[in-house]
Structure 1
């Protein structure tokens, strides 16, 4: 007969097939985490035999749900303290040779593995081979039950298991580990869904439920689905609580259980957490539902900009208005300007008297501005219950008048240049320009349209803001009359200590320049610099010619295409205004080259090339945009080469229109000949023949004019500049 030691060595070679073939030999075996440690003598005498088992203590640490879970990092600080408390709690146990082997924290799943050894009952079966285990559905031996009961009594006497937060200790308990847990440290966090894979035959849903129900209430067990070859089949077990799934995962992983069809064949269980929401599921849903997501995102972003950034923007707007961030108002800057810059400017001042240049809105010599100035002062002194508009042509001194009044009254104001805003090529550029002028910061260009949508929604909900109930005030600034213009120039030159006597010829020049404040200021500045009024006026004319050639006709053909009017339309208006001070609006509108194109005239008015007066709310007359523009138009007309180029282009357009009329008349005559070849409709035919003759004569005349004009282009520009100067003097 073989000795017990021989039996151990022989059975050590028996593997899993032996268990599948002879399951009755292992009915009394201990669970999966139970290991036998014995010697030949111990096995023979039934003494010194130790069994290794593992328990899982739950609720000691928080179950970690992700990398963002801050509780995990707090628990790390108390990990060693909690482990020591568990060790002290279990070291004094003396039941069935209980011997504490190790304590391994499992922070990710909120528990601790406690590994121990004990002496099993003498009648238990030694499987001899560690890889052969009994079904985990069978109950443990009596010694293991008694050890577990003893440990539970100790835990209860101590007030419960230690916890990572002693003040909020929960009622954790101990669980027998039935498999061989996989202690991985990957980023696989607990979830209520547990995937149970089968290494072997499938296991019935009923058996899975019986195995896992002890760890917590199960909501659903989904049966296996077909999988590719080489992949383990599995079931999905959904627990009511994530805590229950964590306990089941750590107690069942690696356990063996009888199969579904044949209980003699065992299946190894592999468990793992399954995310309740698949990766990128939310992102994919958001991307596939833009009609729902986009309005929500718009609302959230708009709310964020209003609630978070509006206080910051209000501060910067107030700082812009009050001048808190303006370095010119700092004491250091004022000291430097007073003691260095101003003295340096006086040194290089030609007048040598340090006189400051007074703005063009000084009403001591401009009688027409006294009424406007008094109206603005009264408005600033009263309670602001309405709005006052100061309007007038460009360069009439609106900004200077307001600035001088505000400086004297020591009132803070915010100045917004609307022309810069209008010059923006897009809505984003316009908003950016407005934000820079008002100090509105921070600004996000991509949210501009969002804010507009929110503004529209606000108007729809709360109604449009009401305008002031009182009528709006209006202060009009017009050009000065000739007497005021001359008085103003004389007074300013006298204040600057410039001894200058205006001759009658120069008086006529000043009157022709007009009373536009910016032009008068230019004359004063140039006379103070040593020039004569005649030279100053000539500089204004030359500057106006350069500006008109660029703004009205464009630098080249490509630039002209971007203008809202044609070169022929601009040339026609300027040619007529060079001869007359006013033009009938509708006569110009209906004649060539406008032919009813009112938008071109309105665009010229907006560009300040012309001004349109109204009578009874309708357009009446057309005038130059500035008084001096009439003489600028005359200067352009006196340039023979420029005039020839524009007239040739205008005549070619007229000839093209006549050609179109001839073709239309010829086509109609051909149609009439087909309808009535015997001469009926004679009146219509005679009309068409006359129209053909008139158009033909017109084309001949235009071609003759263009031939003469082209000769001008071939001539040398001999003394053209002097000729143009004399021409506009005589023409005026």
Structure 2
């Protein structure tokens, strides 16, 4: 179907003067000839009807407007606000009442009917018959009769020129005036809840039941609808679509233009004079444009851009919302703001009732510690003086387990000091999984809220996104980044704690925060890192981050840092964190026999009776009546056997308090330690599966290696490091899971079976892990069954080592024997291999003889 040329004039934008060489039909009935602009007149057929009372849904509520002879319909746009259409829709309107209002209307700019009256100039000489308001579309249909000699198109053109010359703008639309257009089709006055849209769906339906419609091209649609406003796009139905009736989409830039086009062109019948035999009726409806889906499609089609933006937004939101809350909780954790024992009420009650109630610690583990601290007064003063100076380095308190380092620091050095943060590395490294590690670390520093479970969920989301898009979203954080985040937040809170007591009235109030903290080291918070390097081989990343964090604290003058460790290799990670500083080291060893005896005696004193404080009493304590027992004369001998390890002395004291004699108590302690050694290092370690770190079962040593050290230390007390290193048991171990000789010795030292002492920076000697172990080693050797069993296992391993040597020699001899000619140069090598084979065989024979005796002893042992 081909349309004629269309001419657009500003004065007739919504007129019919754009459709040429076309015949318009509005239904069956009489024909009306109309001249459209300067083009050829067209015949418009109007249905025959009778004039009746009509509501806002058309004549007799049929949804259509019936026009009689010499009548036409105009649509006036922009008379009602679209946003109030739902309110105006339910208001009862009567067309007869509207007509009366039109006849008697004043020139009020608030009355829509008066605006219609102003839009129809007196020169038009038209007679208004009926009104049909369209509230949800913001306009109104006006049925009129045109004067003789003027066609409806000429009337509309005159009205359009008048409105362009003198615009009429309603109160709610100061920029867009009222527009009018001639209704060319058969309007449908439905009252359905269908709101206007910028997109019109144009369906091509047959004007007659038996004649198929023609599908209009985009050029034809443009010619029909461009007069009503700027068109954004025209979309035709896909050629392979089987959907009937055929349709096309016309998108207008402005919503009001789409409303005008729909009301003027709905039901329009177009018959092409050339190329098409069948008339086509246009059925128009509003169509929702899928704008939200376009945005969603762009988001889903660009994951490489969207996912990093979302991750950055979530990170920024977390920092902005949760970080201040977490800093607050860390701050109150350090300051202990919510602890009842630090409150003024508790302290007042304690002062008022000090004469009635005795607020004394009665725990056995803390009894008599004051006597010990008296002998360590120099160490305590040294650490306290370092906390009053700006030294910018660590304080490292090193000593074997049970030497009382934590009690010395917490109960003496930091007694009564505010703003102390204790970080126990043992609880952190012993947590299960990354989520447990993060949770424990957060609990240690007071970091909350912490969503440790969210990282597992984020990891699954990352995996799903990466598997589908190939891009890693970055929602989840690895363990290292989360540890750094917690420690950084803690550092920020510690700085605020250190500056909490700063006042504007201070003499140095004009100093910056860093300068103020450098000038006042006594006001800095104190961070105590306990059990540093506990299971250091397994959690190396954690300890590196803690050391770097502690280095930043001391270098930025935020806090003092005290490390408590039992690992002798603490200097490596700390020197790496502070390469240009000398560590302040404090070494706590075992107590001397005199101090150990004084410690035990002070714990045996009755409650409330002071212990000896004079200088003379430190070397020769005066015993009380309760302590003047005959068996206490054995105390010197027992302490010499037990050693000066603080934990062992406390165990001895508790046994003495329940009435045991010193010899009996020490004997029980030795038996207990021997039983622990037997369980942990000998019988409990099968193929590298005992206590320690590394190997299949978590160890790098074998039971035979542990027994070798126990047997040798029981007789010699001190072993040369290199001698042990070169022994066959360590250098050629055949046990599965055992590591190298150096790793085995280091692992046994970490398990505290032995102690490796250095000389000039190199390992030199090996001793028992603690003094009581020396006696425990002798006790194990006194048990014939244990000794026979372990010696048998050790000899069996030595026999395996020699058998492996024989196998290597035999294999090499077989290679030499396979040569076609026996060169004389190989004779010396053959003699060497034969001698080595003979020597190994002789050792195996000796081992087997000794093993036979051990088997007999083991079978006869109880």
Q: Could you say whether these structures have the same fold, taking a TM-score greater than 0.5 normalized by the shorter chain as the test?
A: yes
1:265 matched to which residue of 2?
279
Against the structure 1 CA distance between its residues 255 and 615, is the aligned structure 2 distance closer, same or farther, given a 3 Å change threshold? farther
Aligned-residue offset at 1:432: 2.0
Once residues 189 and 641 of structure 1 are traced to their aligned partners in structure 2, the CA distance between those partners, rounded to angstroms, is 100
2:327 matched to which residue of 1?
314
Against the structure 1 CA distance between its residues 354 and 283, is the aligned structure 2 distance closer, same or farther, given a 3 Å change threshold? closer
Q: Which stretch has the larger CA shift, 199-208 or 92-101?
A: 92-101
Alignment of 1:691 with 2:819, yes or no, is: no
Task: For 1:100-499, list aligned pairs within 5 A.
Answer: 100-105=131-136, 112-121=137-146, 141=153, 156=168, 158-161=170-173, 171=176, 173=178, 180=188, 198=204, 200-214=213-227, 216-221=229-234, 224-230=237-243, 241=253, 243=255, 247=259, 251=263, 255-256=267-268, 258=270, 262=276, 264-266=278-280, 267-269=282-284, 272-276=287-291, 277-278=293-294, 281-282=297-298, 284-285=300-301, 289=304, 295-329=308-342, 359=366, 362=369, 364-365=371-372, 368-382=375-389, 385-405=392-412, 408-445=415-452, 446=455, 447-449=476-478, 452=481, 468=555, 471-494=582-605, 496=607, 498-499=626-627
Against the structure 1 CA distance between its residues 591 and 317, is the aligned structure 2 distance closer, same or farther, given a 3 Å change threshold? same
Aligned-residue offset at 1:354: 8.6
Once residues 209 and 632 of structure 1 are traced to their aligned partners in structure 2, the CA distance between those partners, rounded to angstroms, is 104
What residue ranges of structure 1 are gaps of 5+ in the alignment? 1-16, 41-45, 63-74, 106-111, 126-138, 162-168, 347-352, 718-732
Aligned-residue offset at 1:513: 1.9
Alignment of 1:562 with 2:697, yes or no, is: yes
Select the residue among 657, 662, 680 that pairs with 1:533: 662
Select the residue among 711, 715, 735 that pairs with 1:579: 715
Once residues 79 and 215 of structure 2 are traced to their aligned partners in structure 1, the CA distance between those partners, rounded to angstroms, is 29
Against the structure 1 CA distance between its residues 556 and 591, is the aligned structure 2 distance closer, same or farther, given a 3 Å change threshold? closer
Once residues 671 and 448 of structure 2 are traced to their aligned partners in structure 1, the CA distance between those partners, rounded to angstroms, is 42
Select the residue among 622, 633, 640 that pairs with 1:511: 640
- Check conservation: 1:201, 1:259, Cα contact below 8 A: no
Once residues 423 and 158 of structure 2 are traced to their aligned partners in structure 1, the CA distance between those partners, rounded to angstroms, is 89
Aligned-residue offset at 1:506: 3.1
Aligned-residue offset at 1:422: 2.4
Aligned-residue offset at 1:454: 11
Once residues 189 and 385 of structure 1 are traced to their aligned partners in structure 2, the CA distance between those partners, rounded to angstroms, is 74
Aligned-residue offset at 1:480: 1.1
Against the structure 1 CA distance between its residues 308 and 574, is the aligned structure 2 distance closer, same or farther, given a 3 Å change threshold? farther
Q: Which stretch has the larger CA shift, 708-717 or 50-59?
A: 50-59
Aligned-residue offset at 1:436: 0.9
1:520 matched to which residue of 2?
649
Q: Which stretch has the larger CA shift, 648-657 or 245-254?
A: 245-254
2:755 matched to which residue of 1?
611
Aligned-residue offset at 1:505: 3.6
- Check conservation: 1:60, 1:172, Cα contact below 8 A: no
Aligned-residue offset at 1:490: 1.5
- Check conservation: 1:527, 1:536, Cα contact below 8 A: yes
Once residues 764 and 647 of structure 2 are traced to their aligned partners in structure 1, the CA distance between those partners, rounded to angstroms, is 27
Alignment of 1:591 with 2:606, yes or no, is: no
Against the structure 1 CA distance between its residues 173 and 91, is the aligned structure 2 distance closer, same or farther, given a 3 Å change threshold? closer
Aligned-residue offset at 1:666: 1.7
Q: Which stretch has the larger CA shift, 312-321 or 657-666?
A: 657-666
Q: Which stretch has the larger CA shift, 516-525 or 96-105?
A: 96-105
- Check conservation: 1:361, 1:400, Cα contact below 8 A: no
1:134 matched to which residue of 2?
none
Aligned-residue offset at 1:216: 4.9
Once residues 206 and 466 of structure 1 are traced to their aligned partners in structure 2, the CA distance between those partners, rounded to angstroms, is 76
2:81 matched to which residue of 1?
60
Against the structure 1 CA distance between its residues 39 and 156, is the aligned structure 2 distance closer, same or farther, given a 3 Å change threshold? closer
1:97 matched to which residue of 2?
128
**In the TM superposition, what whole-angstrom CA distance separates every residue of 1:420-473 from its partner, at most 9, and x where no partner exists?**
2222344433322211111111223315428718969x99xxxx9596376432
SS in 2 for 1:479: coil
Q: Which stretch has the larger CA shift, 95-104 or 315-324?
A: 95-104
What residue ranges of structure 2 are gaps of 5+ in the alignment? 1-22, 37-41, 53-66, 99-109, 121-126, 206-212, 456-475, 489-544, 546-550, 556-579, 610-625, 691-695, 732-739
SS in 2 for 1:698: helix
- Check conservation: 1:152, 1:173, Cα contact below 8 A: no
Against the structure 1 CA distance between its residues 625 and 49, is the aligned structure 2 distance closer, same or farther, given a 3 Å change threshold? farther
SS in 2 for 1:119: strand
Task: Number of aligned residue pairs: give it.
Answer: 639
Q: Which stretch has the larger CA shift, 84-93 or 273-282?
A: 84-93
1:164 matched to which residue of 2?
none
**In the TM superposition, what whole-angstrom CA distance separates every residue of 1:250-292 from its partner, at most 9, and x where no partner exists?**
65895546489638532545552332444852453355x4xx6
